[in-house]
Amino acid sequence: MKKPIPFLFLLIFVFISGCDENEVQQISKEGAVETIMNVDHLDQTHDIIITTHKVWIKNQLAKTIIYKDTIPSLGLTSQEAENSDGDTKTVSLKKDYEVYITVK
């Protein structure tokens, strides 16, 4: 039996890639939810997506919520790499997920 994908994972599947990125230099901690997403390579066939929410109230960290989900790996891709001597070589790298976040 396959493990169902959590609803949160479906909402926050993949992050902004190739678009204008509006990076916030400093968040207002008076009342905010800070979300951090990371996809790490777990092994040859699995990646792990880690979503961390930090809840800030009156400049105090009120709560930290962490979700971890195992997802299928996308496999390998080939890319040209160059060393410090200028020599190039084709190397295999693990494919990365694109992450998109929609906030309503």
pLDDT per 10-residue tile (average), the chain, 104 residues: 44 40 77 92 93 95 97 91 88 88 82
Would you state the pLDDT for residue 23? 67
Would you state the pLDDT for residue 13? 41
Q: What is the rounded (10 degree) CA torsion for 78, 21, 48, 91?
A: 10
Contacts of 101 (CB under 8 A, 6+ apart): 12, 15, 16, 35, 37
Q: What is the pTM of this model?
A: 0.63
